[in-house]
Amino acid sequence: MSDKMQAIRERTFREPKKHEIPRPTGDIVKARTIGVGRAPDKDLIKSNRKEGCGDLVATIQAFKSCPVYNMPVIEQVRQTFSGPLLDVDIQRTFGATWDPFAAGLDPAGASFVETTMAQPGQLQTYTLVMAIGVHLEPEPYCWTAQGNAWNHPAGNVAKPPSPDVFTGNDIANGALGAAFTGGTPTQTMLPAVLRWGWWINKALWCFARAYNLRWMIGQHTNIMDEQLRHTAYMPPNAQEGSASSSQQDIITAVRHTNDYYGSLGAAFEFLKTDFLRLGSATSGAVNVGVFRPSRALEVVGATYGGGDLRSMIKNNSEFRELSLPYLITPGVPIGLRCQETDSVQGALMRSFFSITDGFNTTSPPQVTDAADVLAALTATGANVMLEQTFDAAPVLIPQTVNAQRVPFKGGEWKMGILLKGYEVDQNWGDVLRGDPEIRNIVLGTGTGKPIAQWAGR
């Protein structure tokens, strides 16, 4: 092959052929829009200000007349929590402010986050916001189950009996097993309860009153600043304005609760009740409880409807339509957040969300009737709480029980915030920023009817 042919061959296979695609111009560019389907006609505005501006105003008014439920959701952040929170996480996520738009993908205590945002707290395009929403989604049913807290030893072991009631004599004399007796028992059991769902409902009820919904432009200008309960929405979990009761088993709920508490390093697990105490008798010269197996407490009465919280937070609609649309510039912080204004309701909210009930102890906590009551067996004495035994010759035996109770909390909840409206292209922003007369008409600062707000810089 000649040198010339070799050069042609190398150039043919090594140099990619280039074909430049011409960029669209003229009317094609004018038609390129985002969301709304049309852009302002700058040429028409320049040549015929009255007609061009009127066309722009008519477009925004058409947006406003659209039913809010038909408008697209532009941006949304929804946080999911799988159970009660560590006290340190509560202070970080539900402190002076709750700001899911700026929180990113890993807010303290959240199990996962669903978001449409590419950059936390900022929009990527010009956006005309027509409505907002703050959604609170608790568990759809509530119940409380009686059981026991057990400090599970390392490894796989057999479950101990879990009675509805046990006494100091039962523990000391081996009714629960050898691991719970002696001077240094290897295992501990304490009376406990499992609260499902209702603590979330109560926490969200306090949340809607503890915070104001504040929408800020910059540092000092507010679009709104009012109690959150006037906007917050809770989906109906039962027939509107009512609640119902039913029977529900707790088996799966117990497993999910223990898995969740284990992931947070809790010292105890919850055991559902499988024995009922009938009384006591003398066995081997010592007093010990008499029990029978039972599955009666595996099923509890559940209330559906969340305590009718919807009406207690003003029975709001799913979306709150703005009286004036709000135009947000790309890269400008949205500024929509919740800010605490009621410290009493805020403290109650945090205690219900807390895995320690707000006592800042190990989890789960051991709670007594008062701060000055010891977490130990009740007072003893020869004639304190006598129980007649089942012996052939019955005798009266003093009994004691644990003063403390161990509360567990189960259930999942979601909290979200969203913007509804229309994404628009840069032409919209350029027209409003570059033409004071048109901006005055659109914003209502001139002689025209106010139809929009501005969040530019």
**Cβ atoms of 180 and 149 closer than 8 Å:** no
Give, in order, the Cα–Cα distances in Å from 35 to each of 89, 232, 425. 38, 27, 8
> 141: which strand partners?
304
Query: CB under 8 Å to 115, separation ≥6 — which residues?
Result: 76, 77, 78, 105
Which pLDDT value is given to residue 21?
Answer: 46
Summarised one tens digit per residue, pLDDT across range 261-276 is 999 999 999 999 999 9
Q: What is the DSSP string of 354-367?
A: BTTTTS-SSSS--B
Please tell me the distance from the alpha carbon of residue 392 to that of residue 388, in angstroms, as a whole number. 11
Neighbours of 123 (CB within 10 A): 23
Q: Which among 329, 300, 253, 325 has a CA at the least distance from the CA of 83?
A: 253
Which pLDDT value is given to residue 443?
Answer: 53
Tokens 């009938």 belong to which residue?
Answer: 278
pTM for this one?
0.83
Which pLDDT value is given to residue 311?
Answer: 65
Summarised one tens digit per residue, pLDDT across range 156-182 is 889 999 999 999 999 999 999 999 998
Which pLDDT value is given to residue 382?
Answer: 74
Mean pLDDT of all residues belonging to the chain: 83
Query: CB under 8 Å to 442, separation ≥6 — which residues?
Result: 56, 57, 60, 432, 448, 451, 452, 454
Which pLDDT value is given to residue 47?
Answer: 61
Q: For every residue of 262-293, which 3-state class applies, written as one string?
A: HHCCCCCEEEECCEEEEEEEEECCEEEEEEEE
Residues of the chain where predicted confidence (pLDDT) is lower than 50: 8, 11-21, 23-24, 28-32, 239, 445-448, 456-457
